[in-house]
Amino acid sequence: MNNTVINCKAIAKHYQVGTQTVKALRTIDIVIEKGEYVAIMGPSGSGKSTLMNIIGCLDTPTSGDYVLNGTNVSKMTDNELAETRNKEIGFVFQTFNLLPRYTALENVMLPMIYAGLDKETRRKRAEDVLQSVDLSDRITHRPSELSGGQRQRVAVARALVNNPSIILADEPTGNLDSKTSVDIMNLFSKIHADGNTVIVVTHEEDIAKYAHRIIRLRDGMVESDK
C-alpha cells in the first residue's frame, strides 16, 4: 500500500517581473509520507511561501509534477484545484482567517458546506471537532469574543473538519504570545499523534523543533532535509 501523501518531482516556479524572470523555486524534490510531521524552514526569499502555495493547491508549478495522494495536481484548472483543496487540505493561517460575523461553530461548519454535507451532519461534526480542541464552551462566540489562542483553535478545528490528507499551517503562532504558542504547538502534536500528516511552514527554530523532520530551503532549493 502506497503511503506517500506528497510527491514533488523537479518542481520549479518562475515569475515574470517586468523583463526579469524570478526563479522562486528552482528544482524541488520532496516526498512526504502519511503521518509525518514536517517543518519547512528558510529565510525570507527562500521560496517557502511559494512551495506552501503549491503544496496547498493555491498555485501550480511552472514545471515539474506535484502528486497529492496519488493525483497529479500540477496541471489542474483553478476549479479543480479549489475542489482538491477543500477535500485534501486543512489550512491554518497566521491571521486565523475567521469570518467575524460567524460564531465559532459556523466558521468550522463552512468547509463542509462546500463539501456538500447536510446541515445535521455539519453541525454534529463541527461540535465534535471543537470539543477535540477544547472549545466546547465557546461554540456560540464570535471571533471578537475569543482570545488569540482560542481563535487559532477554531482555525485548527476548521482545518480538521473535512478529514483532510494534510494539515498545512503557515506561521501558525506568528500572532500569538509565547505561552499561547506552546499551547497551539502542543495541539498540533496531539493532532499528529491522532494520525494526521502535519506540515508547518515557519521561520522560528523553536516552533520547527516540534516537527520530526525539518526541510530547509535556500534560494529556491532544498538546502537540507533531516
- 9-23: per-residue pLDDT in tens? 999 999 999 999 999
End-to-end, the C-alpha distance of the chain in Å comes to 24
User: Which grid cell sits at 176?
Assistant: 500569538
Look up the domain containing 177 and give its range: 37-61+78-225
How many Å apart are CA 210 and CA 169, to the nearest integer?
13
In a domain, 14, yes or no: no
Report the SS3 class of residue 100. Answer: coil
Those residues with Cβ within 8 angstroms of residue 102's Cβ, 6 or more apart along the chain or in another chain: 110, 142, 143
How many Å apart are CA 222 and CA 219, to the nearest integer?
8
Sheet (strand 166-170) strand order: 71-72, 63-68, 4-17, 20-33, 221-225, 213-218, 37-41, 197-201, 166-170, 89-93
pLDDT tens for residues 130-160? 999 999 999 999 999 999 999 999 999 999 9
Residue 86 has pLDDT above 90, yes or no: no
CATH number at residue 210: 3.40.50.300
Average pLDDT over residues 191-209: 94
Average pLDDT over residues 111-133: 91
In a domain, 207, yes or no: yes
**What number of other Cβ atoms are within 10 A of residue 21's Cβ?**
10
Query: Which pLDDT score is estimated for 199?
Result: 97
Report residue 161 CA to chain centroid gap: 13
Average pLDDT over residues 176-204: 93
Beta-bridge partners for 9: 65
In a domain, 189, yes or no: yes
pLDDT tens for residues 20-52? 999 999 999 999 999 999 999 998 889 999 999
In a domain, 148, yes or no: yes
Query: Which pLDDT score is estimated for 1?
Result: 54
Average pLDDT over residues 211-226: 96
In a domain, 6, yes or no: no
The pLDDT > 90 percentage for the chain reads: 84
In a domain, 196, yes or no: yes
In a domain, 68, yes or no: no
Average pLDDT over residues 95-117: 91
In a domain, 82, yes or no: yes
Helix (H) or strand (E) holding 154: helix 148-160
Q: What is the CA radius of gyration of the chain?
A: 17
**How confident is the prediction for the chain on average, in pLDDT?**
93
How many Å apart are CA 80 and CA 152, to the nearest integer?
28
The pLDDT > 70 percentage for the chain reads: 100
Place of cell 503562532: 173
Report the domain count for the chain: 1
